Structures are given as structure tokens and as C-alpha cells.
A = this chain, B = another copy of it.
């Protein structure tokens, strides 16, 4: 019986509720799969701020360090949004965690199952073949972390504030390589996003991506400016396979792709470093307006767990089983509030139970 340790960080908002459903899955796996998953739960985000005065307590970091993977819920909410930005759950918790573990790879699949086609805000003729795009986003560089970053006083009433978008050859090379590798297991198409008609960092981005592509002769590489990409993805989502993006452009485009599926409550994501140690979290946020109502969709959290088994634990079989259980539950017609097309829906809790039973 192989043993693994997972750090579970439910966080704020709907995080704890949907995490409970992932626990049900972990339970079944522990009982039936001849492996042992040890679970350690830690605080992060707003709840950690409340308890310890910091969104990322040392104890949480230490726990994560000792584990094989991190399962993350979500952080943030109105309660903490008037605090200074740099201590808020996002900038004080999530961003430093990404940086600390060198999670430069962010993988965000946007998949629209054909049986859920009605969910997409796009016309049926555009999405009749579903949507299946993966956004590969650089996660610890660019304008999120570039220095200098700050503000200066011009006089008593006037300031100027600044952020630095910056990329090095090395940073671009390593994320581009990931995107090409991923595409080679899919449809062999990479579209790299930049604003090379305006930004110096984008000119370098385009050069380096083009250079890396030479090592992947089977992959078709195209480049789009971010403004044009925003339009093309809406017009023809299923001409895209893998999107390769900087941190900021990936933040924007992955959310665009997500909303086009109409089912953001079902989308998982993975943040990885070069050892494939990773953090797995739903693509949607903490959704304060859904919190405590037992209506949030737990599928994003459960599929994040499936990604964890695939990428960090290398247990593809278990990963496939979880994904299949989700699909079967959907095929049986079970829907949470956010994905139903009629009046019938089941609770967060019931959806978790249904999926774990299928498993």
C-alpha cells in the first residue's frame, strides 16, 4: 500500500463546502484503492487572517512543504476586501503561495461537455461540437511580480503608481515547452498570445516561443494579439487547442474560455512547478453569494482532485475513474443549481454523494 500526503486548504467562501465533497471521494479511494492518502488540513486566506493575522501562516507553508500535493478551495470575500491589498487573502495568501513553491505552470482546461451545450452563452451553431481549450498560463512572472511596483508622491494630492511587466528568455522558454508538450498529447495546435505590437516583453515572448517551437515540428504554432484573441475565441472557440499566455493575459483569457463553457463551477485547474509538485483548485472564486446555501457546484473541486492524482501522484487510473464518475453522474441527469436547464437541481452535498457513489 503506497502512502501519500495531501495538504488540504479549504479557505473561504464556498471553499469549505465543496471541499467536503472532495473528502467523500478521498474516502472512497482510501477504502478501495490499495493506497493510503493522508490528509492534513490547514488554514489559508481570510480564515487564516482572522485566526492568525496573516493569510499565509507559517504552519500552512510547512505543512504544504511536507506533502505530495495541495488541494486548494478558494480564498477571499467581502469581509477582507477593505484591508490593504497586500495582506488580503489573494495577494497575501494565494500569490505568495504560488511564488514560494515556484508554481510557474498554470493549467486551466475549459471544457464544455456536449450534453451541457445549453449552458454556453454562445449560439448553438458556434458550440455544437463543444469546447475543449486548455490555457497554459505563466504563473509567477510578468506584471504580477515584476519590480519595481509601488507608488510615489508627486505632491500632497498627487501620486503616480507603477507595475512592471517583465519576462526573461528562460521564463518564457520553460512555460512554452510545457505548452508544446501538452499540445503534442492533444490536437497539436498552440496559439501564443501577446501584444507584440506594443510591448517589449511581448516581442521577446514571441521570439522565444517561436524559437522553442522549432523543437516541436509537429505542432502548429500561431500568434495572436490579446485583443484579437479575445475576439477569435468567442467567434470560433473550437479552432483552439492550447493557449500559451503570460500571467496577466492568461488570467483574462482563461476566464473568457471558462465563461464560454457556461459552467465555471465545473472547471478545475492545476498550478505546478518543475518537479510537478502542485496546487489544485477550482477555476471559479470563493463565490460569497453562494456561500452557506448548499447550492455551489462541487464538481470543480472534485475534478481538481482528479488533476492532482494525474499530475502530482501519477495515478492516472484513479484520475480517470473520478472523471468518469463525474461524467456518469451528469449523464444520469443530476445537476446542481448553476448547471440545470429546468427547475430541478440537487444540493452541493447530494452532488458529492452521487459522484462518490458512482465511483
Contacts and interface: CB of A to CB of B under 8 A. Distances in A.
Interface in A181-200: 195-200
Each complex incorporates copies of this chain amounting to: 2
A151 B200 contact: yes
Interface in A115-139: 120-124, 126
Given A121-B234, A230-B255, A161 B167 contact: yes
B169 A154 contact: yes
Given A121-B235, A204-B161, A255-B227, A91 B170 contact: no
Q: Which residue, of A95, A228, A230, has the highest number of chain B Cβ atoms within 10 A?
A: A230
Contact of A170 (B126, B158, B228, B251): B158
Interface in A201-246: 201, 203-205, 226-228, 230-231, 234-235
Interface stretch (A26-34, A142-150, A314-322): A142-150
Nearest to A155: B169
B201 A161 contact: yes
Interface stretch (A49-57, A256-264, A273-281, A296-304): A256-264
Contact of A197 (B90, B126, B143, B160): B90
A1 to B, nearest CB: 42
A143 B163 CA distance: 9
A109 to B, nearest CB: 17
A66 interface: no
Given A151-B204, A230-B252, A230-B255, A169 B165 contact: no
A92 to B, nearest CB: 10
Nearest to A94: B197
Contacts of A91: 197-198
A20 interface: no
Contacts of A161: 166-168, 200-201, 203-205
A330 interface: no
Nearest to A124: B123
